Amino acid sequence: MNVGQPRVLMFCSRFPPLVGGAELQAQSLASALHEAGVPVEVLTVRYEADWPEIERSPTGLTIRRIPFDDLCRRFPKIRGLGVVNTLFLGLRISRAVEGLANNFDVLHTHNVSGPMSAFAVRSASRAGLRTLAKVVNIGPQFDLRVLDNYFLWGRIARRWLKRDVTRWQAISAAVADDLRRAGIRDDRISMLPNGVCLGDGPKQLPSLASRFLYLGRLAHTAPRDVPGLIEVFAEMIRKRTGSELAIVGEGDRLAEIRGLVASRAGGGQVQVPGLGDGKTWRRWAHCLVQPSFVEGLSNALLEGMASGLACVAYDIPPNREALDNGRAGILVPVSDHRALREALEALAGEPGLARSWGQRARAHAEDRYDMRKVAAQALDVYRTL
């Protein structure tokens, strides 16, 4: 531990063992800060009785969990208990933050699209801590806008956040733009992207790509053109019979996507296994395809870059930012299925092209999104607070 470093309490309403991009980002950042000698602890919610209230990771990072008694689960026939749940859990979070406040200088909260972060921020502010609030979503799913979906508590939470947050973390320029539209001044916005753990090194791609991967949620809340990708691949495999596509993820569109694959791209060249281990599928793949309509900053895209995969994505501002304006990956116009098919066919047909794009993707991930560098940037933000 380095004497004089800012002491950081990281609040995440959801944290591993819950699995998701935001949860893994928080875990990776906390671990990188801890390994760099920054005094950091994680405060989260204990959703299951068999989860430990205090846990230490193999590297010594402390995770504290606040017990949660879900009244909706206990009394499923009684309506309106969600509001009571929010109040009881919010009060517990407030007490936990107030009890720990003397040990820390900064509260860094993730997932401000739910009211729990607002309770943490309000208590931290009243206890004299400076606060950094991470925002990840843009457009219709913008975090402060999503709070309106919470009856009663949403508007209260938004008011607390806009009043009490010292600094807002924008993971991309698009997120920063939405914060400005929400009335947040530039001097309260810090650019701090998601990071990615680089691991042992990138894979060596073959000269021709034959394995294509979509990795992410299959849900109506994740606006991505997976049906378009299936249509494109169904046309592509008429020429490239050795090509394969894996669509890995879960959500409320899983059955729909499986049905579409069965009707349009049968024969075993397209698989939809459901939820899978990202590392395993990235080792399998040669190319990551991210046909996003909306993103904050895609973790799947960053992880594909770090793995040395050739990356193809729709040309929206956050994907353009991640892929260095097309220097680290292939950008195609949104919903332009012909351009998407031509990009995939080029990777499958032009010798050395996939390997070249994979090398560029890895180099940019090392330069811009290495989690160790992102942790150092986070530390600079904490110091400015």
| Helix (H/G/I), strand (E/B), else coil: 277 | coil
Model confidence at 152: pLDDT above 50: yes
Which range among 71-75, 220-224, 245-249, 321-325 shows the weakest confidence by mean pLDDT?
A: 71-75
Please give the pLDDT value at position 81: 76
How far, CA to CA in Å, does 348 sit from each of 203, 206, 237, 239, 358?
A: 17, 10, 11, 10, 13
Please give the pLDDT value at position 1: 42
Region 7-25 average pLDDT:
89
362 Cβ contact partners less than 8 Å away, ≥ 6 residues apart: 202, 305, 306, 307, 308
pLDDT digits (tens, 9 = 90+) for 197-248: 997 677 789 999 999 999 999 998 889 999 999 999 999 988 888 899 999 9
Tokens of 149: 């979906």
Region 360-379 average pLDDT:
96
Please give the pLDDT value at position 186: 96
Tokens of 223: 């606006």
| Helix (H/G/I), strand (E/B), else coil: 276 | coil
More confident: 2 or 184: 184
Q: Are 30 and 40 in contact (CB under 8 A)?
A: yes
DSSP 325: G
Please give the pLDDT value at position 248: 96
Highest mean pLDDT among 75-89, 113-127, 262-276: 113-127
Domains of the chain with bracketed CATH: 8-195+370-384 (3.40.50.2000), 211-369 (3.40.50.2000)
Tokens of 169: 């973390």
Please give the pLDDT value at position 145: 87
More confident: 181 or 151: 181
Residue whose token pair is 């669509």: 247
Region 278-307 average pLDDT:
94
Helix 153-164 × helix 115-126 angle, to 10°: 40
pLDDT digits (tens, 9 = 90+) for 85-129: 888 999 999 999 999 999 999 999 998 888 999 999 999 999 999
DSSP 369: I
Q: Are 113 and 145 in contact (CB under 8 A)?
A: no
**pTM greater than 0.85 (yes/no):** yes
Please give the pLDDT value at position 133: 96
Please give the pLDDT value at position 266: 67
Q: How far apart are CA 273 and CA 254, in angstroms?
A: 9
What's the mean pLDDT when you consider all of the chain?
Answer: 92
Residue whose token pair is 């092209």: 353
Please give the pLDDT value at position 242: 87
DSSP 370: B
How far, CA to CA in Å, does 89 sit from each of 46, 67, 189, 270?
A: 10, 8, 28, 44
Model confidence at 7: pLDDT above 70: yes
Model confidence at 2: pLDDT above 70: no
Model confidence at 72: pLDDT above 80: no
Q: Are 385 and 108 in contact (CB under 8 A)?
A: no
pLDDT digits (tens, 9 = 90+) for 30-40: 999 999 999 99
Strand 54-56 versus strand 62-67 pairing type: antiparallel
pLDDT digits (tens, 9 = 90+) for 157-195: 999 999 999 999 999 999 999 999 999 999 999 999 999
Q: Are 232 and 339 in contact (CB under 8 A)?
A: no
Determine the residue type at 48. Answer: E
